[in-house]
Amino acid sequence: MVLVIDIGNTNITCGIFEGDEIKTTFRLTTKLQRTSDEYGVFICELLRTNHIEIEDIEAVLISSVVPNINYSFQNGIIKYIGKKPLLVGAGTKTGIKIQIANPKEAGPDRIVDAVGAYYLYGGPILVIDFGTATTYDLITEDGAFTAGVTSPGIRISANALWHDTASLPEIEIKKPSSILAKDTITSMQAGLVYGYMGQTEYIIRKMKEESGLSNLKVVATGGLGKMISEEVEEIDIYDPMLTLKGLNIIYKKNK
């Protein structure tokens, strides 16, 4: 079995693969002050809770956008699982060509998503990750990562709305029944969700137009991606496990 780990700004998402099958997934919050022992113990306990024996873990692969925790996290894996993890980065075989102005600026999370989207669904493809930030990345038919857009995630927008305005409350992010809101909470929900849907539709259309790829498939992933995908016709596929699947593909390429 292979343990794949996606360290994001908000959550650490872990998955166990046996071949191409996802056996189980679990999450931790991303906290900078944890020690290697804490990370190691948490991971081991979550594995046991999910009926996975530590001895059955053959390899560990990590994608991280939080460099400050990489050292303690990797040491926790080494100490408690007994495997030296492979950290996705320069020199990692991915099968994707990075053809942007500065390839080092392509974060490992975006590369992993690109790998998952391209090898699972083919190209040309646009992959959208609705995470802490929302990213739109274009991969051509021959597997080249050629362009990307980054925008504030919907939770960042929501936090700014209620933290930077004295009289607006913190709300649940969900689509109201109508955009014709009649109270403060639903008016905020309408602005956030319908506004984000409009942004998503426009960016997809504009990227198709400027790339000339009218046949571009669109796959979405990420926590709030399901809600947006259900409402945006331009999104063809929603795959909540895309990042973990991409990590598993990269593991097999580097095995």
Q: Annotated active-site positions, please?
A: 109
Q: How far is CA 111 from CA 107, 144, 245, in A?
A: 6, 11, 12
Q: Give the closest residue to 3 by CA, choosing from 251, 212, 253, 223.
A: 251
Please state, in angstroms and rounded to a whole number, the distance separating the CA atoms of residues 186 and 8: 30
Please state, in angstroms and rounded to a whole number, the distance separating the CA atoms of residues 10 and 129: 14
Q: Treating both helix axes as pointing N-terminal to C-terminal, what angle do 108-121 and 242-254 enclose, rounded to 10 degrees?
A: 90
Please state, in angstroms and rounded to a whole number, the distance separating the CA atoms of residues 127 and 218: 6
61 in Cβ contact with 244 (< 8 Å): no
Name the one residue in this structure whose structure tokens are 């362009």.
147
CA 108 to chain centre: 10
With a CB cutoff of 8 Å and minimum separation 6, the contacts of 137 are: 110, 113, 114, 126, 127, 128, 129, 145, 147, 148, 149
Half-sphere exposure of 161 (CA within 13 A, CB side): 23
